[in-house]
Amino acid sequence: MAEDPRAWWRHGVLYQVYPRSFADSNGDGVGDLVGLTRHLDHLQWLGVRGFWSSPITPSPNFDWGYDVVDYTGVDPALGTLADAETMIASATARGLKVILDLVPNHTSTQHPWFLESRSSRDSPKRDWYVWQDAKPDGSLPNNWQSSFIGPAWRFDEIAGQYYLSNFLPEQADLNWWNPEVRAEFERILRFWFDLGVAGFRIDVAHMLVKDRELRDNPPATDDDPFIEQLHGQRQQYNANRPEVHEIYRRWRVIADSYDPPRLLIGETPVWKPTILASYYGEGDELDLAFNFILLETPFDADAMHEVIETTLAALPQGWQAVWAGGNHDVSRFPTRWAGNSPTRARAALLMLLTLPGTPFLYAGDEILMTDTAVPPDRLRDPIGVQLYPMPFGRDPERTPMQWSAEPGAGFTDPGVEPWLPFGDLAVNVAAQRDDPGSALTLTRDLIGLREAIVDLHAGGYGRVDGPAGWWCYRRGERVVVAINLTGTAGVLGGVHGLLRISTDRSRDGEVLDGDLALEPDEAAIIWLDA
Ligand code: NOJ
């Protein structure tokens, strides 16, 4: 029987590449597409089914690619369109799918559309962005706050008006009420799909459409998520607007018109599972919507179980959750969840790769790279620079992939300074590759087991009672995952089966006839007797 054309993302594990930090082929200290292509063997060997690359499109790099000046080109620092085509072809030949990043909420203020739009009130592209005069009293058009720092309105001298800018001043929000903007992005989707791209991760998917009347947001209350409290307001009128769903319904028709159907994944930092579920529509919008609730949850049994349970309850049968332990915007999980403890990080890895839904690894997770302290003179993230010395920058999770302990770390040529500093080079792919006890081998084996056991990639989830502080869950009929998140050894009773993989690899294959003993921060996957 032919495999379901969606199995690659429904059953498989996916991987995120931050292209500037993956592999540098030309010795300029910046990762590029040729370097990425040369390392596709690693992804194939690891067993992931595909990868999402953060933006490869041309950008003045105020926000490192998330400020786009050309949606159908390739940034010269990363390569050429021909390099992208070679990358797609090489990946496809290895059975790997390529997911690109689409940034539809905003463009660079250097994008030709914006230059045209700002040039005159009569410009045919004036309405492609959100232009407003100050209020009669001279105050800003409304009270919206940028998702980064300060008000979301910036005055443009040439245009003589304010433009809406929900991120950096160098990023201007597009006006998604304009049908020409919509048509243009449909063209962009088709351009890349026609080149063989398997799907898109959609940046800031929850914010494209804003309130047409630009109403003020209400003040945040203590019940609102931390981020809204930080900005002092609830994002009622500039995020999660009902009209955004029309766009995804339309994109889904386009994605499904391809053979095989293309994948749409939302970057959806929303804090209620029911709002997250709304991005799946009636099963006719996004295929997957990233779960940021888990990312923000401590590695605690009750807290995490609740996120999984409430998320699954919000997603009707047949829809798929998607989990990541990190990405280029948040602290790496071995640091955030495990406090840099390698033992606890291994437990987090086992957890991530046994959750119900699609797991995403972020490049470096497989060797358990931790956050890297970046000295002030090497900071590259504009947020890190502006807020220094507050630790809000995103450079610590963006440092280059560590392929080896050689000078250049196998990332760039020896003697070349990488665009961000390396972390602890003792943590690297070469050192772990042939070590049966390494994190890399654990990752590969977990992915292999997940692929091999239907219960693990497709079975249901239910919490199993266990000792206080443990997180034990069933996957499907025959699999139990047990994680001892306490500081003391303990025992889970009533377990009859085979220990398939423990984070202590010397235990793999143990036959369990009643008791499963786990050390602190140990985690194990059990194949129960029938
Ligand atoms: C989310 C991206 O992941 C982040 O890196 C970027 O700064 C913002 N969106 C704005 O595009």
286 and 396, same structural domain? yes
- Residue-level pLDDT at 376: 96
442 and 469, same structural domain? no
Structure confidence by residue, pLDDT tens digits, 466-517: 999 999 999 999 999 999 999 999 999 999 999 999 999 999 999 999 999 9
Contacts of 485 (CB under 8 A, 6+ apart): 299, 300, 301, 347, 469, 470, 471, 521
Q: Is the pLDDT of residue 227 over 90?
A: no
Q: How far is CA 20 from CA 29, 250, 430, 495, in A?
A: 9, 32, 20, 46
Q: How far is the CA of 92 from the centre of ligand 1 (A)?
A: 27
406 and 339, same structural domain? yes
Q: Considering only CA atoms, which of 120, 129, 127 is closest in space to residue 173?
A: 129
Buried b (16+ CB within 10 A) or exposed e, 198-226: bbbbbbbbbbbbbbeebeebeebeeebbe
367 and 320, same structural domain? yes
Q: Is 224 in the pocket of ligand 1 (CB under 6 A)?
A: no
Q: How far is the CA of 392 from the centre of ligand 1 (A)?
A: 14
Query: By alpha-carbon position, which residue is closest to atom 11 of ligand 1?
Result: 66
Structure confidence by residue, pLDDT tens digits, 302-315: 999 999 999 999 99
Q: How far is the CA of 203 from the centre of ligand 1 (A)?
A: 7
Q: How far from chain centre, in Å, is Cα 436?
A: 28
Instruction: Check which CATH number belongs to the domain holding 425 and give it.
Output: 3.20.20.80
33 and 133, same structural domain? no
Q: Is the pLDDT of residue 289 over 90?
A: yes
Q: Is 205 in the pocket of ligand 1 (CB under 6 A)?
A: no
User: Is 361 domain-assigned?
Assistant: yes
414 and 318, same structural domain? yes
Ligand 1 probe mutation, 148, 270, 329, 362, most atoms within 8 A of CB: 329
The amino acid sitting at 472 is C
Q: Mean pLDDT of all residues in the chain?
A: 97
Ligand 1 probe mutation, 68, 170, 203, 397, most atoms within 8 A of CB: 203
Instruction: Check which CATH number belongs to the domain holding 507 and give it.
Output: 2.60.40.1180
User: Is 72 domain-assigned?
Assistant: yes
User: Is 229 domain-assigned?
Assistant: no
Q: How far is CA 239 from CA 107, 201, 206, 271, 375, in A?
A: 17, 18, 6, 12, 35
Last residue of a domain, one of 399, 417, 447: 447
268 and 153, same structural domain? no
User: Is 295 domain-assigned?
Assistant: yes
The amino acid sitting at 282 is E
Q: Find the mean pLDDT for residues 325-347.
A: 98
Last residue of a domain, one of 389, 416, 447: 447
423 and 283, same structural domain? yes
473 and 432, same structural domain? no
Q: Find the mean pLDDT for residues 19-48.
A: 98
464 and 443, same structural domain? no
Q: Is the pLDDT of residue 160 over 80?
A: yes
Last residue of a domain, one of 415, 447, 479: 447
User: Is 477 domain-assigned?
Assistant: yes
Instruction: Looking at the CA of residue 103, tell me the nearest atom of ligand 1.
Output: 11
The residue assigned the tokens 């029911």 is: 274
Contact call for residues 397 and 331 (beta carbons, < 8 A): yes
Q: Is 101 in the pocket of ligand 1 (CB under 6 A)?
A: no
497 and 403, same structural domain? no
pTM of this prediction exceeds 0.85: yes
Instruction: Check which CATH number belongs to the domain holding 166 and give it.
Output: 3.90.400.10
User: Is 213 domain-assigned?
Assistant: no
Q: Find the mean pLDDT for residues 427-432.
A: 98
User: Is 50 domain-assigned?
Assistant: yes
The amino acid sitting at 329 is D
Q: What is the extent of the structural domain holding 169?
A: 112-173
Number of compact structural domains in the chain: 3
470 and 418, same structural domain? no
- Residue-level pLDDT at 2: 75
Task: Report, in angstroms and rounded to the nearest whole number, the Rg of the chain calculated over CA atoms.
Answer: 23
Catalytic residues: 203, 267
Q: Is the pLDDT of residue 1 over 70?
A: no
Q: Find the mean pLDDT for residues 66-81.
A: 98
Q: Is 63 in the pocket of ligand 1 (CB under 6 A)?
A: yes
